[in-house]
Amino acid sequence: MPKVDLKKELRHLYLPPSKDVVQVDVPTFRFLMIDGEGDPNTSPAYSAAVEALFSVSYTAKFMVKKSTQALDYAVMPLEGLWWSDDMSAFVANDRSKWQWTMMIMQPDFVEAAVLQSAMLEVKRKKALAAVDALRLEDFTEGSCAQILHVGPFTEEGPTIQRVHAFIEQRSGLTGKHHEIYLSDIRRADPAKWKTVIRQPMK
């Protein structure tokens, strides 16, 4: 059975260098999304949102694998769009003031009907209320600057500043601050956590 790993196929978008900020062009992708606000370390809504996203994404994966498509694929990493009325909240890493959209990219061959069936299955088996807040949406970012941050989330400030400085030398910031979480934070040493820091540019 063939196995698809979009993270490897899209290496330039999901595995950027950690030393230098790079400019990339991000096309339209489909995501399961859910919105919320507040500090992810203390917000029950955040934990529920992430659980719903992964539960549905993995259920869809196994549905596709067992279907006539007989395709196996790697579930994509968790991603987050973060914003605030006060941009300095990013540099200060004050996440209590941040609003967020958490999301997981879905391969094109996973039909919307399969994802809908996966949502119903997760609701039936796990009774996760957050599943009702999930939506499937196309998302386009276009020109962005990004870098790989290695280390805990609390030390992202200087990395974010580097990305912003890179953009401001060339154009200007636009859109929402974007993070892609490549590590399993439940198991990995925080000093080795890998997070893609991405910011759209005008």
What pLDDT, on a 0 to 100 scale, did the predictor assign at position 2?
73
Compute the average pLDDT of residues 96-111: 93
Instruction: Give domain 11-27+142-202's CATH number out of 3.90.550.10, 3.20.80.10, 3.30.1220.10, 3.40.50.12780.
Output: 3.20.80.10
Under CATH, which number does the domain 29-139 receive? 3.20.80.10
pTM summary value: 0.93
Q: Where does the pLDDT of residue 93 fall: very low under 50, low under 70, confident under 90, or very high at 90 and above?
A: low
Mean of pLDDT values over 137-142: 98
Nearest to residue 79, comparing CAs of 54, 109, 43? 54
pLDDT digits (tens, 9 = 90+) for 77-86: 999 999 887 7
Average per-residue pLDDT for the chain: 93
List where CATH 3.20.80.10 sits in the chain.
Answer: 11-27+142-202, 29-139
CA 29, 117, 133, 187 torsion-angle sign? negative
Distances (CA, A) of 166 to 5, 169, 171: 30, 5, 9
Question: pLDDT-derived band of residue 20, with 50, 70 and 90 as boundaries?
Answer: very high
Write down how long the chain is. Answer: 202
- pLDDT > 80? residue 95: no
Looking at residue 69, what DSSP letter applies? Answer: T
The whole-number pLDDT of residue 89 equals 65
Distance of CA 21 to the CA centre of its chain: 19
CA–CA distance from 32 to each of 17, 80, 131, 154, 167 (Å)?
27, 11, 10, 26, 28
Query: Residue range 143-153: average pLDDT?
Result: 97
Quickly state the pLDDT bin for 35 (edges 50, 70, 90): very high
Give 156-191 pLDDT, tens digit per residue. Answer: 989 999 999 999 999 999 999 999 999 988 888 999
Q: What is the pLDDT of residues 49-83, one digit of tens each?
A: 999 999 999 999 999 999 988 899 999 999 999 98
